[in-house]
Amino acid sequence: MTPINATPAELDRRFAIAGLAQVVPDEGGNAIIRITTPHCSGTMHVHGAQVTSWKPAGAEEVIFVSTRARYSEGQAIRGGIPICFPWFRGKADDPAAPAHGFVRTKNWRLETIKSENNNVVVTMATESDDTTKKWWPEDFRLQLRATFGVALELALTATNTGAAQFRYEEALHTYYHVGDIHQARIKGLDQATYLDNTDANKEKKQNGDVAITAATDSAYTNNESALELIDPVLHRRIHIAKQNSRTTVIWNPWEVAANKMSDMGADEWKKMLCAEGANILGNAVMLYPGEHHTTTVSMTVA
């Protein structure tokens, strides 16, 4: 098993694939996997097992990362695809607990880097320990399998390694890069019901495409629809599909909240839109001892 504290150089010697994948230090000195294939380029950090770039050949960057993002263990990277687990937003019974759980701010273990069917597949894992049990008593293992190619596919598997059942929330909190938030829109949620977190979680119904005109934090529950993120400025459509995800979250902080974020650059909120495959609130997942659950999100660009 690879030590959790292995250096980037050690990981590169063990896992690098000539011409396809190398392991180098990120801005905080932690390991980052840089991927370059004929079909795409990409990056993935051991910090939070977080994908921070996916750029299909001939296309612009798909994933947004703030220019002020921080890369130190214990802090969240602003942008990319953070993994929210085992709760989403604040912890209901503990306001002091870290928002969106604790796995996005810790270093994961790099397990494998493989070349499969013209793709590069990176697998990382993390599990319960004394630091996680400070906030949540359950025994678990998480594995993220990220496939970089013509499509980007993320498969997050949670396993109950303890003796008691537990319930958890999760999200693949994807920040998409858009040309202009005022012009981007999302198809696929017409007539779906959602809980509006900017309005006391009132239940509302979506009419037509989702257009972002103000601070938005909407959870479309009992929803497994594929989405299309239409971006007229960048002249593209991002097709987003998911499996075993029964919640879709759409989020943009808008100007006032974004200006309070020390890790968000000026006006960068205009260049990002989160569309997340999730299982939260009434769609939280129950796992019995020995059981596992895999949620998958994939994206392609046209």
| Whole-structure pTM value | 0.97
| 131 φ/ψ angles, rounded to the nearest 5 degrees | -70, -35
> Which pLDDT score is estimated for 4?
80
Confidence category of residue 72, pLDDT binned at 50, 70, 90: confident
Could you tell me what percent of the chain has a pLDDT over 90?
94
Which residue has tokens 């598997």? Answer: 157
The yes-or-no verdict on residue 2 having pLDDT over 90 is no
* CB 42, CB 56: distance < 8 Å: no
> Which pLDDT score is estimated for 270?
98
Buried b (16+ CB within 10 A) or exposed e, 200-223: eeeeeebeeebebeebbbbbbbeb
> Which pLDDT score is estimated for 88?
97
CA-CA distance, 265 to 245, in Å (whole number)? 31
DSSP letter (8 states) at residue 163: S
CA-CA distance, 172 to 175, in Å (whole number)? 9
> Which pLDDT score is estimated for 196?
98
* CB 240, CB 216: distance < 8 Å: no
**Structural domains present in the chain:** 8-301 (2.70.98.10)
Task: Determine if residue 254 is left, alpha or beta; phi over 0 gives left, psi from -120 to 50 gives alpha, anything else beta.
Answer: left
